[in-house]
Amino acid sequence: MGIRRTVQYIAGAATTLALLPQAALAAVATTEAPVAEATQAAAEAAGGYVPMAPTPGKGMPVDGGIWFQDQYSPIGDYGSWIHDAILFPLITVISLFVLLLLLWVMVRYRRGKNPTASKTSHNTLIEVIWTGVPVLILLGIAVPSIDLLAKQYESPPEDALTVKVNGYQWYWGYEYPDNGGFEVISNMLDEEEAIARGEPAHLAVDNRMVVPAGVPIRIQTIGMDVIHSFAVPSLWFKLDAVPGRLNEKALFIKEPGVYYGQCSELCGVRHGYMPIAVEALPKEQFEAWVLEQGGELPGSQPTVAASQEDGDAEVDAEAEVTTEGEEPEAANVTAA
Ligand SMILES: [Cu+2]
């Protein structure tokens, strides 16, 4: 009866796993978007910022995926290495070993084959082994995992670029205190528009969090109403955004790309509709984007526009940022 139950349970669990709505999450848009491409080409010719087209499968979930997403940060490489090279092989070997022992006991010592049971109750050697070996295994796991934990808490270097991530019900705001303090408001695109732009549904946003690749970044998170959590799986990044508390964590993105994530703390009815899209650009392109948003570069003269018209230019620039994009009303919709 026990075995049958176990088999039923395993079969049930396997079915549940297979039916997980991976497809729903990984609705990677493969549709070509000629209109979007034409617009992109035109804007590129004009030298302006154009949202980068995502690479299918990079920085986003994939159909049927049950493994970690490919990692694009050094800490992500290390973390997934611990999983792939240490934890996963180890649990596989231990599970198979225990399964073999169970099968061996069930067959070799069944009543028919072994009518007179042994009265042995102690065996010092075996007891020392089955205590010592697990201790060594746990110590072996503890060393790299505590190391990973410590690395995840390492402070960003002093010259890191600061991006302040504000969690709102139910959208994100990205503030750039090192670049004049402008804020980019980021709302989810609806499904048709995301697919039309060649982006994954439910993950694409109107205005992305744009950052430089290959330089250290200091992410600060805060909740403006309730607790949210800023999480991007392919960057091995998750940090809660708590009201009244500024959390800080280092982020380093190895290469340019678009990396998607989601709010990972239940924050209300539209918790599932406040995705994150991080666009990492080469440093010069990032700086061009900052100037285009009306921001300034640290250590440099104020931008031409700002020096010409003083305060007015900055106010205008900020207003432009927050209302930019074709769907500014999305913010109102979510707030209603
Ligand atoms: Cu949230």
Quote the ligand 1 centre to 272 CA distance (angstroms): 8
Average pLDDT, the chain: 83
Quote the ligand 1 centre to 116 CA distance (angstroms): 63
Quote the ligand 1 centre to 240 CA distance (angstroms): 9
Quote the ligand 1 centre to 108 CA distance (angstroms): 56
Q: Please report how many Cα atoms fall inside a 13 Å half-sphere around the Cα of residue 322, on the Cβ side.
A: 12
Residue 193 is predicted with a pLDDT of 95
Quote the ligand 1 centre to 186 CA distance (angstroms): 12
Quote the ligand 1 centre to 128 CA distance (angstroms): 50
Q: Where are the domains of the chain?
A: 74-111+125-152, 161-335
Least confidently predicted of 187-196, 221-230, 313-322:
313-322
Kindly state the average pLDDT of the residues 178-200.
Answer: 95
Quote the ligand 1 centre to 12 CA distance (angstroms): 32
**Protein residues placing their CB within 5 Å of the ion ligand 1:** 228, 263, 267
The pair phi, psi for residue 212, each rounded to 5°, is: -80, 145
Element (H, E) at 278: strand 275-281
Quote the ligand 1 centre to 19 CA distance (angstroms): 26
More confident residue, 16 or 282: 282
- CA–CA dist 334, 277 (Å, integer): 18
Quote the ligand 1 centre to 331 CA distance (angstroms): 14
Our CA angle for 239, 243, 248, nearest 5°, is: 35
Least confidently predicted of 41-45, 61-65, 109-113, 315-319:
315-319
Residue 298 is predicted with a pLDDT of 80
Quote the ligand 1 centre to 149 CA distance (angstroms): 25
**Beta strand pairing status for 228-232 and 257-263?**
antiparallel
pLDDT at 331 over 70: no
Per CATH, which fold does 161-335 belong to?
Immunoglobulin-like (2.60.40)
Residue 23 is predicted with a pLDDT of 40
- CA–CA dist 107, 286 (Å, integer): 66
Quote the ligand 1 centre to 193 CA distance (angstroms): 22
Residue 37 is predicted with a pLDDT of 52
Residue keyed to tokens 């590129």: 44
Quote the ligand 1 centre to 148 CA distance (angstroms): 26
Residue 198 is predicted with a pLDDT of 94
Quote the ligand 1 centre to 271 CA distance (angstroms): 5
Residue 301 is predicted with a pLDDT of 57
Quote the ligand 1 centre to 101 CA distance (angstroms): 47
Quote the ligand 1 centre to 138 CA distance (angstroms): 36
pLDDT at 228 over 80: yes
Is residue 240 a contact partner of residue 229, using CB atoms and an 8 Å limit?
Answer: yes
Residue 196 is predicted with a pLDDT of 94
Quote the ligand 1 centre to 82 CA distance (angstroms): 29
Which tens digit of pLDDT belongs to each residue from 48-103? Answer: 889 999 999 999 999 999 999 999 999 999 999 999 999 999 999 999 999 999 99
Find which of 34-38, 40-44, 133-137, 309-313 is predicted with most confidence, using mean pLDDT.
Answer: 133-137
Quote the ligand 1 centre to 227 CA distance (angstroms): 7
Which tens digit of pLDDT belongs to each residue from 254-278? Answer: 999 999 999 999 999 999 999 999 9
Is residue 219 a contact partner of residue 49, using CB atoms and an 8 Å limit?
Answer: no
Kindly state the average pLDDT of the residues 323-330.
Answer: 42
Residue 326 is predicted with a pLDDT of 42
pTM: 0.73
Quote the ligand 1 centre to 335 CA distance (angstroms): 13
